[in-house]
């Protein structure tokens, strides 16, 4: 799995700020059946096990189970992200789907915001950023009271958002800062993607008939048209493994014939170095042995 890099923008003393943001006593979570007086046989240990806790991770632990979490909860994550500045709906959704109280969830939203902005979806990015920050506030507050049920942090936070204009304004200012941070990170990602695309394009050159002749004097576009379909598909996929498989479907004589023409036209670089004098002087690979393909790579992409 690709390494996950999480970069968050928080106000100083984040947890303290969340506590100050609330400025009121937390309410203890309870369901209808929990309101009755517990019996003398009640097991405190079992009650503790029933409490909802924020799923927090240290270092490399974050990657453990992340993909599984996304696979199981992707639809819920996107449904929550789609809530548009409706704090009452957000509150009820988190209460109903407490699996969102997880650093896997907040990590997903952080990356999702950057991806949305990189795709030019600024409106959707800001909406998702707001939902991300709300959830982060809840998780930070819940983690600051480890002995309590994490749901105890939900209602007070949303009540403050709905009833206190100053608190709501403070949140919006934090949101503006975070959105600016996401835009910066997204621009960096776009530049990285462009650099990768340029690097890939420099390795493969799109050719048309009559534009170029290979080291053996053959036109690569014309040679490509004469290749068996399996070889054409392999070149189209730019896959050495696919080329090996295609060569195995041909007789040794046919494979040698077609691959020599590929070398002479520049479609195939037997030295695996993308051309040059050494490649021009190199002997054609023994294509009857498919392992020879592993020593080389396609050097051009041809338009049909």
Q: Is the pLDDT of residue 44 over 80?
A: no
Residue 37 lies in a domain: no
Please state the φ and ψ torsions of residue 67, each to the nearest 5 degrees: -65, -40
Same domain, yes or no: 153 and 266: no
The helix/strand/coil state of 302 is strand
Confidence grade of residue 288 (pLDDT, cut at 50, 70, 90) = very low
Same domain, yes or no: 106 and 221: no
Same domain, yes or no: 194 and 210: no
Which of residues 198, 231, 264 is at a domain's end?
Answer: 198
Same domain, yes or no: 260 and 289: yes
Q: What is the token pair recorded at 146?
A: 């480890």
Residue 220 lies in a domain: yes
Confidence grade of residue 8 (pLDDT, cut at 50, 70, 90) = very low
Same domain, yes or no: 166 and 229: no
Which of residues 198, 225, 250 is at a domain's end?
Answer: 198
Same domain, yes or no: 122 and 224: no
Residue 26 is predicted with a pLDDT of 47
> Among 18-22, 141-145, 245-249, whose mean pLDDT is lowest?
18-22
Same domain, yes or no: 234 and 175: no
Residue with tokens 């997903």: 108
Task: Give the end-to-end CA distance of the chain in Å, rounded to a whole number.
Answer: 35
Q: How crowded is the C-beta side of 178, counted as CA atoms within 13 Å?
A: 27
Residue 146 is predicted with a pLDDT of 82
Most confident of 27-41, 70-84, 152-166, 247-261: 70-84
Please state the φ and ψ torsions of residue 32, each to the nearest 5 degrees: -60, -45
Which CATH number covers residue 58?
1.20.58.610
How do residues 69-117 score in pLDDT, each as one tens digit?
Answer: 999 999 999 999 999 999 999 999 999 999 999 999 999 999 999 999 9
- CA angle 207-209-215, nearest 5°? 70
Segment 249-269 shows an average pLDDT of 85
Angstrom distance (rounded) from CA 100 to CA 102:
5
Residue 43 lies in a domain: no
Look at 155 and 26; give whichever has higher pLDDT.
Answer: 155
How do residues 205-256 score in pLDDT, each as one tens digit?
Answer: 566 666 678 888 888 888 888 888 888 888 777 778 888 888 888 888 888 8
**What is the phi-psi region of residue 210: left when phi exceeds 0, alpha when psi lies from -120 to 50, beta otherwise?**
left
Q: Which domain holds residue 249?
A: 206-302
Residue with tokens 């902005």: 117
What is the number of domains present in the chain?
Answer: 2
Residue 250 lies in a domain: yes
Residue 153 lies in a domain: yes
Same domain, yes or no: 23 and 170: yes
Same domain, yes or no: 215 and 174: no
Residue 200 is predicted with a pLDDT of 59
Look at 220 and 295; give whichever has higher pLDDT.
Answer: 220
Confidence grade of residue 55 (pLDDT, cut at 50, 70, 90) = confident
Same domain, yes or no: 186 and 144: yes
Q: Is the pLDDT of residue 67 over 90?
A: yes
Residue 137 is predicted with a pLDDT of 94
pTM above 0.75, yes or no: no
Residue 42 lies in a domain: no
Same domain, yes or no: 53 and 192: yes
Residue 287 lies in a domain: yes
Which of residues 165, 198, 231 is at a domain's end?
Answer: 198
Look at 202 and 261; give whichever has higher pLDDT.
Answer: 261
Residue 6 lies in a domain: no
Same domain, yes or no: 21 and 166: yes
């Amino acid at each position: 799995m690709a390494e996950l890099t999480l970069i968050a923008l928080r106000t100083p003393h984040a947890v303290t700020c969340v506590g100050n943001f609330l400025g009121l006593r937390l309410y203890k979570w309870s369901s209808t059946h929990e309101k009755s007086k517990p019996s003398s046989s009640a097991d405190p240990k079992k009650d503790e096990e029933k409490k909802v806790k924020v799923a927090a991770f240290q270092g490399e632990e974050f990657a453990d189970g992340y993909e599984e979490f996304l696979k199981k909860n992707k639809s819920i994550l996107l449904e929550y992200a789609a809530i548009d500045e409706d704090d009452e709906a957000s509150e009820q959704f988190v209460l109903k789907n407490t699996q969102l109280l997880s650093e896997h969830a907040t990590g997903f939203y952080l990356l999702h915001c950057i991806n949305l902005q990189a795709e030019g979806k600024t409106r959707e990015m800001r909406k998702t950023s707001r939902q991300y920050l709300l959830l982060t506030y809840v998780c930070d507050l819940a983690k600051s009271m480890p002995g309590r049920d994490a749901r105890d942090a939900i209602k007070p936070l949303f009540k403050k958002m709905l009833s206190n204009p100053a608190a709501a304004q403070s949140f919006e200012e934090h949101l503006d800062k975070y959105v600016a941070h996401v835009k910066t990170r997204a621009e960096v990602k776009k530049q990285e993607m462009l650099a990768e695309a340029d690097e890939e394009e420099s390795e493969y050159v799109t050719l048309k008939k009559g534009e170029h002749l290979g080291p053996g004097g053959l036109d690569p576009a014309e040679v490509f048209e004469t290749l068996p379909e399996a070889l054409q598909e392999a070149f189209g996929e730019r896959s050495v493994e696919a080329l090996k498989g295609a060569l195995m479907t041909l007789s040794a004589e046919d494979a040698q014939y077609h691959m020599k023409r590929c070398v002479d036209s520049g479609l195939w670089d037997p030295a695996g170095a993308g051309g040059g004098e050494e490649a021009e002087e190199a002997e054609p690979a023994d294509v009857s042995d498919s392992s020879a393909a592993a020593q080389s790579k396609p050097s051009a992409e041809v338009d049909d």
